[in-house]
Structure 1
Amino acid sequence: MNKSKIGITTGSAATAAATACILFLKKSKKPKIVNIDAPVGKLKIEIKSIKKISKNEAEALVVKKKYPDPDVTIGLEIGARVKLINENKIIIKGGKGVGIVTKPGLPVPVGEHAINPVPRKMIKKNLKKFLEQNEGAIVTIFVPKGKEVAQKTMNPKLGIKNGISILGTKGIARPMSSKAYKKSLSYQIDVAIAQGFEELYFVPGNIGEKIALNKFKVEKDRIVQTSNFIGYMLNEASKKGVKNIVLLGHAGKLVKIAGGIFNTHSKVADARREIIAAYAALAGASKVLVKKIFKSKTTEEMIKYLEKAGIREKVFNYIAKSIKKRCEDRYPLKVKVIITDMKGRVLNSVKGV
């Protein structure tokens, strides 16, 4: 395993900072590197700085190291302040830059700081090794720039305010891994269910969300952003007991589903031209029009050609019907489909939405 290509989670960084504090308090030595026990095994993590606040209190910082991933928390300082107490318990709190949960449905209760269960267990396990029988600690995790960075994460959408989350299930972050991101997306479903919504609106991103909010007046917590992982999110919804989904989004994303493409990232598959050209032909388009569509560089250009030919709605009705069938054949869900252009104009006939 190439260690330079593996990162650490925010949970491991917080655990390392807390462990450094306890070592400093108990052994009076400033560790430059600490060894922590994580679910994946033992990890060596570098400590950026450490200082004593008082005889029984210390503070340490860890920098979340670089690895080849667009993770916005790379380079962040994750800190811990540990205070020894004369009680046999470890209390974990959040400080500056750690978000606060404001909506039900997440792994952490409403009103608490967003430090997930596995990082909490990691911190307790690693500190217990150095504490005596009637000794405990109050651990405060903080992230100096967490509030600013949180705006680039899913936290605002999940109702986690004023900071990032302390996350991780294994302790390490693998390069270009979508697992953690997909998990954060699926939490939106939990939040929506906890609000009592039975029919959810799935949108690929911000464009779809704005259309759902402004044009269809959908409640914000009913809207779930899927990113490119539409298949994964439909599967998560069905596993969580959701029965009804409205798929709403730009044609450039949604038409791919008509071709059986459930990960809509352009690096995975495209086929927009092929799909729209095929359905245009089914709707009676001439060979000339089909060729124009096939040579188009953008979905918006294809839409213009279909409008000029007077078959735009017919084509997108075919596509919407195919999307619905693809989804319902694969997942135990009832699916409605709303396809739009970049301006939010609905391209297919929509009933019962």
Structure 2
Amino acid sequence: MRDETPEQPAPLRSGYTTGSCATATSLAAARLLLSGVASDVAEIVLPKGQHVPMPLVFCRLIDGGQGGAEAGTVKDAGDDPDVTHGAVVFARVRLADQPGVRFHAGPGVGTVTRAGLTLPVGEPAINPVPRQMMTAHLNELAAEHGYAGGFEVTIGVENGEALAQKTMNPRLGIVGGLSILGTTGIVRPFSCSAYIASIHQGIDVARANGYRHIAACTGNASEDAMRAYYRLPDMALIEMGDFAGAVLKHLKRAPVDKLSMCGGFGKLSKLAAGHLDLHSRHSSIDLPQLAAWSAQHAASDAALQAAIVGANTSQEALAMARKKGVPLGDIVCARARDVARDIVPASVEVEMFAIDLQGNIIGVAR
């Protein structure tokens, strides 16, 4: 007899950031240089104090030690759908006469080419917290061994340049590979923290490069619509996906002059109802609410209201309303605009655009 499916699914497994991987591998490579001992596991301390043993897939000298040492680990993102899950993150470390830790981008790690990020132009895309983690661990190791010199640390990710094409890095001006990320050292399943961080970075880069009008879009079709409508450059187009709240909340502390939001009718109907996460896991399309809104323009058409409530999809509801002359696209956009206005500073001009499945604009509110 087949086992029954458990009523309570197993909890999702957390993983570790590329910053944690870089810390473990740089520590192991440096320890090999200072002690002569190659490790199978490197134990690191995360920013909140957790001790984590990270298994290594290699730890070896380069050219007998003349070229330093290198160590690698397989990135384990747990149950999060992280683009870097399963990639080998590695560090190459050389000893230096000058004290301190200097970071370099190895194969698969990008370089910052635009202002607006937390790192200066020209720096390897190794974010501040991973730098702090590596520096703290290497300084402690140096003290243990009575070593007064410094470290040259190169971080790489196998196949990182190709993987980076699946991220926001090219649009952010991070060229040549991935970013080494992490603030806690831990990847929470489906927290989407890296994606949200890329949204914030996209806004910051646009602002730093003089763009005061940005368009936040839910996907490729809405982005194409905004590109055609306003002729905005890619740097001013923010790929927000389902995270409308990430855009609106960030504009509280990093405002622009004008925000255009564009998305599919169904997703914007969720925003109109007050949902800031537009993914189906967290919000659903409220057909009775769409019927109630349409009633404000066709109060006597009870048949239309009933048809919308019974519609299979939001697109079907939209088609029914439009056939009766009810501008449901505009109605939804106006309500979504009002939700956004309640969040962003009053100085930010907000407008909404809704598109149909073919990418045509079917609703506008300014």
Query: Aligned residue for 2:304?
Result: 289
Which letter does structure 1 place at the counterpart of 2:292? A
Matched, 1:102 2:102: no
Query: Aligned residue for 1:85?
Result: 96
Query: Aligned residue for 2:31?
Result: 23
Post-superposition Cα deviations, 1:265-315, rounded to whole Å, max 9, x if no partner, equal 11212134233222222221622222222222223222322232232xx32
- Distance in 1 (CA, whole Å) between partners of 2:25 and 2:11 is 20
Secondary structure of 2:318's partner?
helix
Once the two structures are TM-superposed, the CA of residue 254 in structure 1 deviates from its matched residue by: 0.8
What is the aligned-residue RMSD (CA, Å)?
A: 2.1
Once the two structures are TM-superposed, the CA of residue 45 in structure 1 deviates from its matched residue by: 1.0
Between 1:85-94 and 1:163-172, the stretch displaced more is 85-94
Once the two structures are TM-superposed, the CA of residue 61 in structure 1 deviates from its matched residue by: 0.7
Matched, 1:33 2:72: no
Matched, 1:152 2:166: yes
Match of 2:130 among 108, 111, 119: 119
Query: Aligned residue for 1:257?
Result: 271
Report if aligned partners of 1:258, 1:275 keep a CA contact under 8 Å in 2: no
Secondary structure of 2:86's partner?
coil
Report if aligned partners of 1:256, 1:275 keep a CA contact under 8 Å in 2: no
Query: Aligned residue for 1:45?
Result: 54
- Distance in 2 (CA, whole Å) between partners of 1:113 and 1:223 is 24
- Distance in 2 (CA, whole Å) between partners of 1:103 and 1:208 is 25
Report if aligned partners of 2:76, 2:86 keep a CA contact under 8 Å in 1: yes
**How many residues end up aligned between the 2 structures?**
348
- Alignment identity in percent? 34
- Distance in 2 (CA, whole Å) between partners of 1:350 and 1:4 is 40
- Distance in 1 (CA, whole Å) between partners of 2:163 and 2:84 is 7
Query: Aligned residue for 1:239?
Result: 253
Matched, 1:216 2:216: no
Unmatched tracts of structure 1, length 5 or more: none
Q: TM-score, normalised by structure 2?
A: 0.89
Unmatched tracts of structure 2, length 5 or more: 1-9
Once the two structures are TM-superposed, the CA of residue 39 in structure 1 deviates from its matched residue by: 0.8
- Distance in 1 (CA, whole Å) between partners of 2:185 and 2:349 is 38
Post-superposition Cα deviations, 1:114-150, rounded to whole Å, max 9, x if no partner, equal 1011111111211122334532221111111111211
Match of 1:322 among 318, 325, 335: 335
Which letter does structure 1 place at the counterpart of 2:362? L
Query: Aligned residue for 1:309?
Result: 324
Report if aligned partners of 1:40, 1:172 keep a CA contact under 8 Å in 2: no
Match of 1:337 among 352, 357, 361: 352
Report if aligned partners of 2:30, 2:138 keep a CA contact under 8 Å in 1: yes
Report if aligned partners of 2:109, 2:155 keep a CA contact under 8 Å in 1: yes
Match of 2:188 among 161, 165, 174: 174
Q: TM-score, normalised by structure 1?
A: 0.92
Post-superposition Cα deviations, 1:68-101, rounded to whole Å, max 9, x if no partner, equal 1111111110001111122223211011000122
Match of 2:157 among 117, 125, 143: 143
Once the two structures are TM-superposed, the CA of residue 189 in structure 1 deviates from its matched residue by: 0.7
Secondary structure of 2:154's partner?
strand
Q: Which runs of 4+ in 1 moved over 4 A?
A: none
Which letter does structure 1 place at the counterpart of 2:188? R
